[in-house]
Each structure stands twice: as C-alpha cells, then as structure tokens.
Amino acid sequence: DIQMTQSPSAMSASVGDTVIITCRASQGIRNYVVWFQQKPGKVPKRLISAASSLHSGVPSRFSGSGFGTEFTLTISSLQPEDFATYYCLHHNSYPLTFGGGTKVEI
C-alpha cells in the first residue's frame, strides 16, 4: 500500500504569510494527488487535482506542485479564511490513502 506522509502536522502562521505543506508518497504516484481543505465542523472541500490543477472557484493564492513522490501545497498571502486543516490524497492505486493532515493555526 502507498503511504502519504504529510508535514508538518500543525503550524502557526500569520495573515499575509506564505505557507508550504508537503506530502511525500512511499512510492511514485505520477501526479495523482488531490488537496482538500477542511474547516472545523465542515465538509472537506477540494482545492487542487492532478497535483497542480486548481479547482473552479478556488482562489489563485492556492497552488500545488509535484510529481512522483514529492508534492507541495502552497498558500501565498494567507488570509483569515484559510486557517483550516489541509489533506492530501493519492489515487494512483487502491487502497487510496489520505495524508495525516496539516492544521494551519493563527
């Protein structure tokens, strides 16, 4: 099974900061990564597909990159509404696995 190791598990940031979250796959998964944002008590929201393709309606300050085993989610100029938990997911093969999550706190 492919493991997704996400780091950091939590971080503190300020409005206006640039935040970088990393997911490392235990083996090559091409660009088969999706990034989600989840706020407390809310349903996960898809941000990025295919490692770097921004979902419709997602602000351009979110971006994704990577191929193979190393993937990053970057949030440029962090906004108050961006404080949330972020997850990566691989869909290269079954079983699908999520990363452990990154909580971005003020």
Partner 1 sequence: EVQLVESGGGLVQPGGSLTLSCAASGFTFSAYWMSWVRQAPGKGLEWVANINEDGRDKYYADSVKGRFTIARDNAQKLVFLQLNSLRAEDTSVYYCAGIYCSGGSCSWFDPWGQGTLVTVSS
> Are the CB atoms for 78 and 62 separated by under 8 Å?
no
Per-residue x/- track, 4-33, partner 1 (CB under 8 A): ------------------------------
Strand partners for 70: 24, 67
Q: How far is the CB of 7 from partner 1 (least distance, A)?
A: 13
Coil, strand or helix at 80: helix
Q: Give yes or no for residue 98 binding partner 1 (CB under 8 A).
A: yes
Cis peptide preceding 95, ω within 30 of 0: yes
Per-residue x/- track, 41-70, partner 1 (CB under 8 A): --xx-x--xx----x---------------
Q: How far is the CB of 98 from partner 1 (least distance, A)?
A: 4
Calpha distance 40→56 (Å, rounded): 22
